Every structure is written in C-alpha cells, then in structure tokens.
Copies of this chain bind each other. A is one copy, B any other.
C-alpha cells in the first residue's frame, strides 16, 4: 500500500476517457455554474507540523489547492464537502469559508491558457473553463491519520506540505492558503477544540506544538500552559503514558461542553 504522504498517478489527466474531458469542456455549464469555483486549504497536524494538502499538476512544477466547480443543483457548502471527500475520503469534518477571491484578473485569459496547455489539454478559445472565476475559499481541519489523499482529474500527485514550505502555486492559491491560515490564527482558541487536528487525547506538549505550528512561532511553555488551563476547555485525565515513570506527562482532552 502506498504511503499516505504521497499518491502518484501516471496519466496526463485522470479522466476515465477523453470523452469525459470533452463533455466537461463542451457541456460543463449544463452541470456546473460558470464563473464560480471552490478552493480549499485542508489542514492536518503531523510530526509536530501543520500541513496543507496540495496537488501537483502533471508536468508542472506548480501546485494547486484542491478545488472544483459548483453543481447547478448543489449548495455551495455541498460542493466544498464533495471536494473534501473526493480528495481525502473524509466527511463531516470541520469545514468553513475563509473568504471569496474575486480580483478580475486572478484567473482567465493567458493565466488559464498557460496552466491548461502545460497540462496537455487544449481548450477551445472562449471555453467556460478558461473564463474568469470567482473562487470561494474554504479551510478544513482534519485528522492526518484518517485522511486518504487522492489526486483529482488534472493532478499527478496529492501531498501534505508543511505550511511554512509551500511550493509555487497556480493563480492566487498561495494567497488563499495564507488567508485560510490567517483565519485559523485569528480564531485559534475557538477552532482548535472543534477540530480533529489532534487525536482524542494529547499531552500539553503536543497541544503547544500544534499552537506553535499554526502561529509560526515558539511560545513560552509556562505561559502557554497557564493560558490553556485558565480557558477551562481542557479535561485532565487520570491515565498517563506507559507505566510507572512519575515524570510521564498528563493526558488531556477537550471538554465536551465549552464555556461561553
């Protein structure tokens, strides 16, 4: 079985056959709304690092965030959930908007031509896929061990990348990832307990590593511990790691009901 870190496929574009791609080009707007897309920053926490899921586009040194179009009969949030499910296998995880990206030159024109032609896909001039898109950005907080990253139609691989080592990305996807991280930082104390970033139980040290990884800076251990305990969101468990050693760290979990 492949490592969950990296799935590689060899096809140029992962469509079952060229017919599927032709249909998308010629009749896509019967299925999807034009001009609107969804792009998601899917975060997980692993090896002490906050990571984001990125897709490498075939033959490009460029990466993208997982994204897609919105079905004509599909809710916007539903499209984001579907895209998350398609790329990670996960459902019902923490998923929220972080902003909508609508500069009129963010996609379209030569920018879109360059991406698709390098992918080996020649789109007809004026094709809906090549036009201007306004993209609704989402961010998801998922459990690393539960996610099963899978590439999409246009991708060569799907990998977890530490947020401070993001590769070159298409369009404004780096900005979307940045806005997602900024949104997470602003509301960290509220969002982390609601997320699956940590396993059910964790040590204070693991929680601090997660905070440091999201904030991108080290925190003073004593201050951090005091702040966390004062927030009254943690429940300290009796059991400890392993057996006996009196220095083994306490385990914590988030309280089921949070104080207001």
Q: Are B136 and A102 in contact (CB under 8 A)?
A: yes
A186 CB-CB contact with B under 8 Å = yes
| Set of chain B residues within 8 Å of A101, measured between Cβ atoms | 76
Chain A, residues 232-253, CB within 8 Å of chain B (1/0): the string is: 0000000000000000000000
Chain B proximity of A94: nearest CB distance (Å)? 16
Name the segment of A51-59, A67-75, A112-120, A221-229 touching the other chain.
A67-75
Q: Which of A33, A34, A79, A100 has the largest number of chain B CB atoms within 10 A?
A: A100
Instruction: Report, as a range, how many residues of chain A touch the other chain.
Output: 20 to 34
Find residues 100-135 in chain A having any chain B CB closer than 8 Å to their own CB: 100-104, 132, 134
A75 to B102, CA, bound (A): 6
How many copies, total?
2
Q: Kindly state the separation between the CA atoms of A34 and B131 in the bound complex, as whole angstroms.
A: 12
Q: Answer yes or no: A185 CB below 8 A from chain B CBs.
A: no
Bound-state CA distance A102–B71 (Å) is: 11
For A138, give the chain B residue with the smallest CB separation: B100
In the assembled complex, the CB of A176 is this many whole angstroms from the nearest CB of chain B, namely 13
The reply to whether the CB of A89 lies closer than 8 angstroms to some CB of chain B is no
Of the candidates B73, B76, B99, B132, the one whose C-beta lies within 8 Å of that of A33 is B132
Q: How many angstroms between the C-alpha atoms of A21 and B75 in the bound complex?
A: 30
Report A's interface with B, CB cutoff 8 A: 33-36, 70-79, 97, 99-104, 132, 134, 136, 186-187
Kindly list 12 other residue pairs between chains A and B, CB separation below 8 angstroms, not including A78-B104, A100-B136, A102-B136.
A33-B35, A33-B132, A34-B35, A35-B36, A70-B134, A72-B104, A72-B132, A76-B103, A76-B134, A77-B102, A97-B100, A134-B136
